[in-house]
Amino acid sequence: MTAIQRVREDSGDASDGAALALPTPYLLFVGDVHERGYAKTAFGLKDWAPDKCVGECASDPLAVTTGLPRMTPAEAASRGARSLVIAVANSGGYIPASWQPMLLDAIDAGLDIVSGMHVRLANIPGLTEAAWRKGRRLIDVRTPPADIPVATGRKRSGKRLLTVGTDCALGKKYTALAITRALAQRGIDADFRATGQTGIMIAGGGIPMDAVIADFEAGAAEMLSPDAAPGHWDVIEGQGSLLHPAYAGVSLGLLHGSQPDIFVVCHEPGRRVLLGEEEFAVPSVEEIVELTVALGRRTNPAIRCGGVSFNTSELNESEATRLMAEEEARLGLPVADPIRGGPAFDRLIDHCLG
């Protein structure tokens, strides 16, 4: 259901809506990013598709690291890598000139280039020519299918769960993946539905919601999660935040189109300001719960909150356990870190299914 654009002078646009068949293993390129939040594609692939990752490379020696071996494209190719993935999700999805030498090195080393950025690889000076000479592919993942309909709002069969957030880059994808895995472990038929470039690279399909024209956003969400068997769950990866001044439009279209029966709020304790919009404070969990219910009722009057997912990666085990217990008592909802798992996460899954 995801479109893929192969930019080659001899092939043009191959956006066909098919599942992706990306060249793996990957070399993850983290550019010159110093904040983990802007390297979420790298961390997502390393954590959820480790068998597809050979190592990482950077244009700045001080760039954030995933912990994978750092190597040149030539070294990665010698170890079996087939493509370099631009594993960065910066604000605006642009490719700066300082990254271009590494991309050209990758092509020279015999690697294809895979990108989830808004900027098309074919628009990078010299890149198309270099790829043509070496017989390499330039693959843009962030390309929606061409036949997205306008949303109907029609109630669809099956069950749906959507992850929503108090901000960007704080765990919506990880939470959706973890919930999908937990449901499968309980013998429940469930699919992870990817809505961003990293999720698409992990799952091998999906729709990049932030690349869809606004009028078709909800329609894309309906297309992503069609009618299903009554007991089937689609676990839909959320995008942005309903109270983020830059990305709320994507979040609202996804909410209306996915028609979730259940939503899980994702939050990072200790984060005070919005990523990329530091003049705005991070809203509270309660604000997001209230707003999601109010807006989500438009297409699913039965929508309810299944719980809260905390990203406690900056806390130790005892700190995280204490905080989640306190917040669970205060909010009256299950609070868990899906990566830590345990009884708290089991309670969250129980509440979602209940």
Q: Which long-range contacts (CB under 8 A, 24 or more apart) does 91-94 make?
A: 91/38, 91/246, 91/276, 92/118, 93/117, 93/118, 93/119, 93/142, 94/118, 94/119
And the tokens for 57?
A: 């490379």
Q: How far apart are CA 341 and CA 334, in angstroms?
A: 12
Q: How far is CA 333 from CA 182, 241, 316, in A?
A: 19, 20, 22
Centre a 10 Å sphere on the Cβ of residue 21 and count the other Cβ atoms it contains: 9
**pLDDT, average across residues 203-221:** 94
**pLDDT, average across residues 47-70:** 96
Q: Assess whether pLDDT exceeds 70 at residue 225.
A: yes
Q: Mean pLDDT across the chain, nearest whole number?
A: 92
What are the tens digits of pLDDT across the range 327-351? 999 999 999 999 999 999 999 999 9
pTM greater than 0.95: no
pLDDT at 21: 78
The residue ranges of every structural domain in the chain are 3-143, 159-353
**pLDDT, average across residues 227-244:** 97
| Percent with pLDDT over 70 in the chain | 94
Structural class in CATH, domain 3-143: alpha beta
What are the tens digits of pLDDT across the range 2-46? 223 333 322 233 333 345 678 999 999 999 999 888 898 999 999
| Percent with pLDDT over 90 in the chain | 87
What is the DSSP secondary structure assignment for residue 231, as one 8-state letter? T
pLDDT at 20: 66
pLDDT band at 253 (very low <50, low <70, confident <90, very high): very high
What is the DSSP secondary structure assignment for residue 16, as one 8-state letter? -
Q: How far apart are CA 235 and CA 347, in angstroms?
A: 17
Alpha carbon 103 to its chain centroid, in Å, reads 23
Q: How far apart are CA 73 and CA 82, in angstroms?
A: 10
What are the tens digits of pLDDT across the range 95-118? 999 999 999 999 999 999 999 999
Cβ-based burial of 184 (10 A; exposed 0-12, middle 13-18, buried ≥19): middle
pLDDT at 217: 96
Cα atoms in the 13 Å half-sphere on the side-chain side of 145: 19
Structural class in CATH, domain 159-353: alpha beta
Question: Is the separation of the CB atoms in 155 and 300 below 8 Å?
Answer: yes
pLDDT at 311: 97
pLDDT at 339: 96
Q: Assess whether pLDDT exceeds 70 at residue 216.
A: yes
* Phi, psi (rounded to 5 degrees) for 264: -120, 125
pLDDT at 187: 98
**pLDDT, average across residues 202-231:** 95
Q: How far is CA 284 from CA 272, 294, 319, in A?
A: 10, 16, 20
Q: Assess whether pLDDT exceeds 70 at residue 296.
A: yes
**pLDDT, average across residues 292-310:** 98
What are the tens digits of pLDDT across the range 271-286? 999 988 999 999 999 9
pLDDT band at 205 (very low <50, low <70, confident <90, very high): confident
Q: How far apart are CA 309 and CA 177, in angstroms?
A: 12
What are the tens digits of pLDDT across the range 125-174? 899 999 999 999 999 999 999 899 999 999 999 999 999 999 998 999 99
pLDDT at 6: 35
Question: Is the separation of the CB atoms in 94 and 118 below 8 Å?
Answer: yes
pLDDT band at 92 (very low <50, low <70, confident <90, very high): confident
And the tokens for 5?
A: 């654009």
pLDDT at 245: 95
